[in-house]
Structure 1
Amino acid sequence: MPASSLYIGLMSGTSADGVDAALVEFKSDKIQLIDFISPSLPKALKKSLLALNDSPHLSLEQFSQLSFDIALQFSQAAQMLMTKNRLQASDIHAIGSHGQTIYHAPHIPMSVQIGHPAFVAKTTGIQTVADFRVDDMALGGQGAPFAPAFHQVLFTDDQACFVVNIGGIANISFLPGNRTPNQPPLGYDTGPGNALMDDICQQFFDKAFDENGELAKQGKVDSELLTLLLSHPYFLKTHPKSTGRETFNESWLEETVHQHEQNLGTTIVKQTLLSTLCELTAHSIAMEIKKVTMEHLPIESTLKIPVWIVGGGAQNQHLISRLQNQLPHYHVQSSAAKQIDPNAIEAMMCAWLAQQRMALNTIPLSAVTGAKRDAVLGGLWLP
């Protein structure tokens, strides 16, 4: 395979579970996933990252140490991927490294990702593209989500569809389809995805996550708590909008649950809490899909619109069933049914962003983020 067609994409999401690394080939306008790995982050490093969700305060020394540690983890993931596929640095045209977001603040506007790309480039010997969000924010955009632009390339179809990425935070992309080529994709963060559910599983059930949603499936949804959770001002905002763990975190959840328990005069069962959080994710996603449908599709077109689920949430069958229950006139399923690996998409997107940056192509995101114009995204660090 020619070196110019191979890229590596590196990504670590809000759950800080590990580094997603995708080896991607770009050839004749086709995007092919060659391989994907997701090595876990060291437990101590993950703990330090998750602690920032509730208390985003660091000394300069702590910030520098975390950025260096994450950069080494990203470099090692890229090297593992190359070793597995018997490739050398010279075989890879570029790395696209998103880094680990530790603070996203569009109101400032600024977004901070750690894992400095200079170390990735020098350690791997491969030119590295990174720091994608700030260019969009400098033009008045939210700097997130990037996914709709990539989803538009990956999920090519005549029919309009939605792509829902359920990671720690969930976001939706509305793709108008090839029948309306002049209409740009839309998308934004809908609110909590898996992160809060994962927190509860780790804290009370000694599990990293709720496999297939089996624990949530056994509990009952507390409708009053759900209403209280949905009263957060973010859900009332119109798009463009973006959010993260600095908003929907353990502290916010504990405060809301405490308020609910005081109203009830009793303690909520943890399985009930997990079931309610699952319903919160499904309800908040479905609510936004219905809004976008009403704004952009005629009513007669709404029957069985595809809703493709990507990210970790694609493995949660109970969550998918709850989302389908909220969206009876849509067809909700994992992107695996379309032969697209739901776990690899974000890392593939980072490879695509690198490829687009090397070609100096603007990314069509202004309709998504609210930026004044589309821009070339990311800086380049040489080996």
Structure 2
Amino acid sequence: MQTTATTHSPPSTAGSAKFMTLFLCFVVALLEGLDLQSAGIAASRIGAEFHLLPPQIGGMFSAGLVGLLPSAIFGGWLSDRIGRKKVLIGSVLIFGLFSLATAHVWDYHSLLAARFLTGLGLGAALPLLIALSSEAAEPHNRSIAVSITYAGIPLGGAIASVLGMVNFGGDWRGLFYVGGVVPLVIAVLLLFLLPESRAFREDQQAPASASRTAGGLSGLFTLGMWKSTLLLWLASFFVLTVLYMLLSWLPSLLQGKGFSRADAGLVQLMFNFGGAAGSLAVGRLMDSPRRMATAVAIYLGMLLALAGLGLSDSFALVVLAGLGAGFCALGGQVVLYAMAPTLYPTSNRGTGVGASITVGRLGAIGGPMIAGQILAAGMGVAGVMAASAPGIMVAAFAALALVRDPVKPSH
């Protein structure tokens, strides 16, 4: 009886801890979204200042994404061993410091280095945000909890769009000052206010034989989980290819079609608002019996929205397509992020989520570079959007198979 009393918090205390966890995870996701889209919004002015060609700008985008690769999987693995909170605070400090460094680069090579090191911090944060929000929620609300956290990313991108539209700070560097100073402040708040995941604490206190499956990457393929792991990786790879192509290149693509920088900023803003709405709506639907219909609608809608962005010359239709692309692209990610934590036990959850994000980042690295090469070849916006369609179809089939027949962990 005494042991039970010490392992369960009073309802009011537990509720406060859950709210604080979700709120702080949302704020960190907001900052991550701001930084991720700052590079895309500032790309044309960075390119003009340093005389960069389209493939070099694509290299700038990809440098940040390369940094995401080792840190996503390593951060997830480390959080399964020393705790979610410690690793999250470290990651926020890293991406804050090197976002500030981005504002002080002096040539193309220093720009690549700053974006790579920023990516190291950003990469470790996302799997921890997903794991923390999933573990803080009740089982029947885990998808919506993850989606609320993830909605911070497009809303952070919307803030970056607004800052870009008003030319905050006078040039492109103002975006990176905001993206650097605010995370350093938030890291202090995380230190004092963020509770460690109760699921992690209970897993650490339980006897190893009672709570642990095989750890590390090998543990993602045991107990029949190999099929779900591979489907999750395949869908993540192709969805992030398209998503980061849009996040990185959308403002420049629209300006290439003849729209003004203000018009392109408005479409980017609608993309982010659509992403936030898609994240929340899909999260709620993924907690309902309509999971399969939701996944079908999201991936079909993504194809239609890409066609609208590539083929339409009407500004009103492009705005509508941007809104739909954001809703479906971010919604497609939420389908995967909502499912990922449920596929693995607590002792390997950070590793599982981090590994799926790492595989997705491989696609995210290729997406901006492919778009840069397509534009350099003179194929234009329609060519970029057409190249995205086959990847979306592959992602849709993998996600639908995963939604239909997931393999759940035994505990």
With the length of structure 2 as denominator, give the TM-score of the two structures: 0.26
Report the structure, 1 or 2, having the larger helix content. Answer: 2
